Chain A
Amino acid sequence: MSLSADEVKKIAYLARISIKEENIHAYAENLSGILDLVAQMDAVNTDNVKPMAHPQEMIQRLREDKVTEVNQREQFQRNAPATEVGLYLVPKVIE
Chain B
Amino acid sequence: MAWETVIGLEIHAQLATKSKIFSGASIAYGAEPNTQACVVDLALPGVLPVLNKRALEMAVKFGLAIGADVPRVSIFARKNYFYPDLPQGYQISQFDLPVVGKGYLDIPLESGGTKRVGVTRAHLEQDAGKSLHEDFQGLTGIDLNRAGTPLLEIVSEPEISNAKEAVAYMKKIHALVQYLQICDGNMQEGSFRCDANVSVRPVGQKEFGTRAEVKNLNSFRFVEKAINHEVERQIDLIESGQKIVQETRLYDPDKNETRSMRSKEEANDYRYFPCPDLLPVIVSDELKEQIRADLPELPEAKCQRFIDELGLSEKDALGLSAQRDIAEYFEVVAEGSGEVKLSANWVMGELSASLNREDIAVADCPVSAELLAGLVQRIADKTISGKIAKGIFTAMWDGGGDADSIIESKGLKQITDTGAITAMVAEVIANNPSQAEQYRAGKEQLIGFFVGQVMKASKGKANPAQVNQELVKLLKA
Contact = CB atoms under 8 A, between A and B. Distances in A.
Interface residues of A, number: 35
Interface stretch (B25-33, B115-123, B203-211, B427-435): B25-33
**From DSSP, what is the main secondary structure of chain B's interface residues?**
loop
A64 B280 CA distance: 18
Given A14-B269, A86-B143, 14 more contacts: A14-B267, A53-B276, A60-B279, A60-B282, A61-B279, A62-B52, A62-B53, A63-B53, A69-B26, A71-B36, A76-B39, A76-B44, A86-B35, A87-B34
Contacts of A14: 267, 269, 271
Interface stretch (A21-29, A39-47, A77-85): A77-85
Contacts of B32: 73, 86
Given A53-B276, A65-B19, A73-B34, A84 B282 contact: no
Given A82-B139, A89-B136, A91-B139, A60 B24 contact: no
Contacts of A59: 279-282
Interface size class of B (residues with CB under 8 A): 35 or more
A66 B50 contact: no
Nearest to A56: B279
B34 A88 contact: yes
B55 interface: yes
Contacts of B65: none
B141 A84 contact: yes
A58 interface: yes
B138 interface: yes
A88 B263 contact: no
A92 interface: yes
Contacts of A60: 51, 76, 278-282
B269 A88 contact: no
B472 interface: no
Contacts of A86: 32-35, 143
A72 interface: yes
A38 interface: no
Contacts of A49: none
A90 interface: yes
Contact of B139 (A13, A16, A66, A92): A92
A59 B75 CA distance: 10
B144 interface: yes
B340 to A, nearest CB: 39
Contacts of B51: 60-63
Contacts of B17: 65
Contacts of B52: 62-63, 65
Nearest to B53: A62
B343 interface: no
B403 interface: no
Nearest to B275: A53
Interface string A1-32: 00000000000011010000000000000000
A69 B24 CA distance: 5
26 contacts: A14-B267, A53-B276, A60-B279, A60-B280, A60-B281, A60-B282, A61-B50, A62-B50, A63-B51, A66-B24, A67-B18, A68-B24, A71-B35, A72-B38, A77-B34, A84-B141, A87-B141, A88-B142, A89-B139, A90-B139, A90-B142, A92-B140, A93-B83, A94-B263, A95-B133, A95-B264
Contacts of B23: 69
A50 interface: no
Contacts of B26: 67, 69
B326 interface: no
Nearest to A89: B139
A66 B276 contact: no
Nearest to B84: A90
Nearest to B89: A16
A2 B166 CA distance: 49
Contacts of B55: 65
A61 B52 CA distance: 9
B46 to A, nearest CB: 13
A65 B18 contact: yes
Contacts of A54: 276, 279
A88 B142 CA distance: 5
Contact of A65 (B34, B36, B54): B54
Nearest to A90: B84
Contacts of A58: 279
Contacts of A73: 32, 34-35, 37
Give the 4 A-B CB pairs with smallest separation, nearest first: A68-B24, A87-B141, A65-B54, A62-B53
Nearest to B28: A67
B302 to A, nearest CB: 27
